[in-house]
Structure 1
Amino acid sequence: MRRHTPPPLWDIDPDGVRRVLKLKTTASDIRATGKDVHTAFQALDPVYDAPEQEELLDSTLPHNTRRTPA
């Protein structure tokens, strides 16, 4: 069985690592905002009465859950 040898440390791009970490933080912030928007919309439930009420309140549900790449 062949063992994987990691690249030498000097082949790692420090700026690339920083960009990846920044992207991860940004993605986390986007997910948190989606959850906050969903929670705020759900607060309308007791006071909003219309035929499209269920559709409106459900419209933010996909933004309340963590998505993983397909």
Structure 2
Amino acid sequence: MSDSKPKINEARYTSQLVPVDDGSGDVWLTIPDEVLSEMGCGVGDAIELEVEEGRLFIRKAGSGA
């Protein structure tokens, strides 16, 4: 991750990929409640995903981060 990106905190979290069970092969990515709270997100909010050097970064859409 580049140094120019703000960091909410340095904590690491473990999550699970849960099958959607509709035959598509898609999965749900569960995000721990404490992460959503730290991000200021809730059910129904849009998020942005970025993959950089094999890492997944998640931020609230439109946060300007």
Q: TM-score, normalised by structure 1?
A: 0.23
Look at both structures and tell me which one has the larger radius of gyration over its CA atoms: 1
Please identify which structure carries the higher helix content. 1
Q: TM-score, normalised by structure 2?
A: 0.24
Please identify which structure carries the higher strand content. 2
Q: Which has the higher contact order (CA 8 A, sep 6+)?
A: 1
